[in-house]
Chains A and B, each alone.
Chain A
Amino acid sequence: MSQSDATLRIELQFSGGMELLFDNQKTIHAKVPASFPLDGSAENRHAATIRDLISWTASNLLKERPELFIGADGSVRSGILVLVNGADWELEGELEYELEDRDEIVFISTLHGG
């Protein structure tokens, strides 16, 4: 298997209403490319980060209204909290966190109702 075909098994979870953008799926087991950019030559590619995962998820899994998922600078829109293996992604390097095989990434939309 060449480097460009290598994938990581990532468990994506959606909650707080995020799942509505993904056909009501709360969990998606995804095979995410291990390196990006996808059209780059071997030496131009870097290990997949959350930044790559966000745009990959938007183009491959998102069913509707990307503006409800993607925000400025390739991040998620404001009001979405990202968890890496059960912890606030800020503790893990936010957008630059390098994905590992079998990582669990959760996208939570904050709720405001009461």
Chain B
Amino acid sequence: MTTESLEVKVKRLEQEKAALEQEVRALRLEQSIAVTAAAGAQQLYASSGDTVTNDSRGATPSSAFTPFERVAALTNPEIARYGRQLILPGFGIQAQMDLRNCSMLVVGAGGLGASCALYLGAAGVGRLGIVDHDTVDISNLHRQVIHNEARQGMSKARSAALSIQLLNPHCEVVVHELVLESSNAQEIVNAYDIIIDATDNVATRYLLNDASVLGQKPLVSGSALRLDGQLTIYNYSGGPCYRCLFPTPPPSETVTNCSDGGVLGVVPGIIGCLQALEAIKIATGLNKEDPPTMTLFSANSSTMFRTIKLRKRKPDCIMCGDAPTITKLIDYVRFCGSSATDKTPDLFLIPYNERITCQSYKELLKDSVPHLLLDVREKVQFDICSLPSSLNIPLKALPNELEKVKARLDGQNDRPVYVVCRRGNDSQPAVRILQENGITTGEVKDIVGGLERWSNTIDPDFPKY
């Protein structure tokens, strides 16, 4: 190992150490808050003579499969807590009781689930299940406000449950720390009254739809990306299911996730709030007579909200129609041709000998080998950070802007051209485009793993986003 790479390693370890120390400080702080809150909650139960034992309602997760206990009346502390809803005309004690005796499942504790689960827990839903397999990452926190700095690395389902407990100890939270899939979804869905789709991928959306139809549960579905959001209730009151609207899944190349497309944090927050609202309306029967609609939200449009009338349930739907052909859950990853997470997979479109590693590119820089570095990320990403003297032409624009590459080569037509992007996926088709247009007689290669790997293995000071 050279002294230089040792230096890099030391620097990275020091950064990690500082981050861990900060996490420890934040956790200590949170621990002290949680202890105070739990003591307060115990007192609350004790003073009200509430017969509900705290062990089934505390931060320890209880099982969804213990029967959900419905009650005949609210306790005094509950009445004090929900007073502003109790005096609300058209809501009142009956609706509050309906909420108390309702169980809801929030699938996904991400951007949508964060606001949705917090408001449902606060509103007085009796039992709230939270499904999530993922852990809290710093890049989640701009939108997933149910988690916090100290909980990096913690299970999202647990973190969400903890936040709801801190907000409202009357809500019984059930943690489902798992990937929802065909083998476990039906049993979990059947254990709740209302299902909330706050997921981030196509496969889980079809899975939840089918499980909800089979279990005869209304499904409140929300989605968000960039500055847009969508909201629909499926399988409810004569309305369509997800498959009535979208019988076949979209081609996987047309599906963009938040990590690639970006999302303004408040946008999923708004849609998650709307999902909570719709779930409350279902639990209390407020929207039973409403025709099926889809609500479209567009943050930068002059009319931010738009509600459109949807078709009814389709009699020929293979899922919810009169003669359904799907009678049990199928393989959704296969059906959709995409994975049940929103992680971007590594692509392998060109052979390895047409690619170079970050390490080799570093050597090449060190030896001052003349070359052109082409960065094919979108301009907004290039503006965040870039390698010195790289030329930015987004992949989409590349076929029409080859002249810019030629201009930069300035007659040196044997110069090697290296292509880089965020993760080493878009750089591969870019290599093909350059080769097909004979842009240089020198080599054309892309950098495996892109700038993210550059930051991980070569330069810890290079930002990741």
| Same complex origin of A and B | yes
List chain A positions with a Cβ less than 8 A from chain B: 15-17, 26, 64, 67-68, 77-81, 83, 86-88, 90-91, 108-114
Stretch at the interface among B64-72, B224-232, B323-331, B427-435: B224-232
Chain B 107-132 interface 0/1 with A at a Cβ cutoff of 8 Å (1 = within)? 01011110000000000000000000
Q: Are B230 and A64 in contact (CB-based, < 8 A)?
A: no
Chain B 40-73 interface 0/1 with A at a Cβ cutoff of 8 Å (1 = within)? 0000000000000000000000000000000000
Closest A residue by C-beta to B258: A113
Q: Are B228 and A15 in contact (CB-based, < 8 A)?
A: yes
Q: Are A79 and B258 in contact (CB-based, < 8 A)?
A: no
Closest A residue by C-beta to B311: A90
- Most interface-central of A16, A83, A108 (chain B CB within 10 A): A16
- Most interface-central of A16, A87, A111, A114 (chain B CB within 10 A): A114
Stretch at the interface among B198-206, B383-391, B416-424: B198-206
What's the least CB distance linking B383 to chain A, in Å?
17
Chain B 201-233 interface 0/1 with A at a Cβ cutoff of 8 Å (1 = within)? 110010000000000000000111110111000
Pick from A17, A64, A77: contact of B228, CB below 8 A.
Answer: A17
Within 8 A of A (CB), among B302-346: 306, 308-311, 342
A67 to B251, CA, bound (A): 9
Pick from B224, B248, B251, B311: contact of A111, CB below 8 A.
Answer: B224
Say yes or no: is B190 at the interface (Cβ < 8 Å to chain A): no
Residues on A with beta carbons closer than 8 Å to the beta carbon of B229: 111
Task: Using A111-B229, A112-B200 as known contacts, say yes or no to A88 and B254 having CB atoms under 8 A apart.
Answer: no
Q: Can you add 18 more A-B contacts, CB < 8 Å, to A114-B108, A114-B223? A: A15-B228, A15-B298, A68-B251, A68-B254, A79-B249, A79-B254, A79-B255, A91-B309, A110-B223, A111-B223, A111-B224, A111-B228, A112-B200, A112-B255, A113-B223, A113-B224, A114-B198, A114-B342
What's the least CB distance linking A103 to chain B, in Å?
15
What's the least CB distance linking B256 to chain A, in Å?
6
Q: Are A88 and B308 in contact (CB-based, < 8 A)?
A: yes
Chain B 226-261 interface 0/1 with A at a Cβ cutoff of 8 Å (1 = within)? 101110000000000000011111110111111001
Q: Are A113 and B200 in contact (CB-based, < 8 A)?
A: yes
Residues on B with beta carbons closer than 8 Å to the beta carbon of A78: 246-251
Task: Using A112-B202, A113-B224, A114-B199 as known contacts, say yes or no to A26 and B301 having CB atoms under 8 A apart.
Answer: yes
List chain B positions with a Cβ less than 8 A from chain A: 108, 110-113, 198-202, 205, 222-226, 228-230, 245-251, 253-258, 261, 263, 268, 294, 296, 298, 301, 306, 308-311, 342, 396
Q: Are A111 and B225 in contact (CB-based, < 8 A)?
A: yes
What's the least CB distance linking A41 to chain B, in Å?
37
A15 to B296, CA, bound (A): 9
* Interface SS majority for chain B: mixed
What's the least CB distance linking A90 to chain B, in Å?
4
Residues on B with beta carbons closer than 8 Å to the beta carbon of A87: 308-309
Q: Are B308 and A112 in contact (CB-based, < 8 A)?
A: no
Residues on A with beta carbons closer than 8 Å to the beta carbon of B222: 114
**Chain A to chain B: the 7 pairs with minimum beta-carbon distance, closest first:** A79-B250, A111-B223, A113-B225, A78-B248, A114-B200, A90-B311, A114-B112
Residues on B with beta carbons closer than 8 Å to the beta carbon of A86: 306, 308-309
Q: Are A77 and B298 in contact (CB-based, < 8 A)?
A: no
Residues on B with beta carbons closer than 8 Å to the beta carbon of A16: 225, 228, 230, 296
Q: Are A113 and B261 in contact (CB-based, < 8 A)?
A: yes
Q: Are B258 and A114 in contact (CB-based, < 8 A)?
A: yes
9 contacts between A and B (CB under 8 A): A16-B230, A79-B250, A81-B245, A87-B308, A88-B294, A111-B230, A112-B225, A113-B223, A113-B257
Residues on B with beta carbons closer than 8 Å to the beta carbon of A80: 250
Residues on B with beta carbons closer than 8 Å to the beta carbon of A67: 251
What's the least CB distance linking B258 to chain A, in Å?
4
Q: Are B254 and A77 in contact (CB-based, < 8 A)?
A: yes
Residues on A with beta carbons closer than 8 Å to the beta carbon of B268: 113-114
What's the least CB distance linking A19 to chain B, in Å?
10
What's the least CB distance linking B439 to chain A, in Å?
21
What's the least CB distance linking B58 to chain A, in Å?
28
A64 to B396, CA, bound (A): 9
A110 to B268, CA, bound (A): 14
A68 to B298, CA, bound (A): 21
Residues on A with beta carbons closer than 8 Å to the beta carbon of B248: 78
A111 to B112, CA, bound (A): 13
Pick from B111, B226, B245: contact of A17, CB below 8 A.
Answer: B226
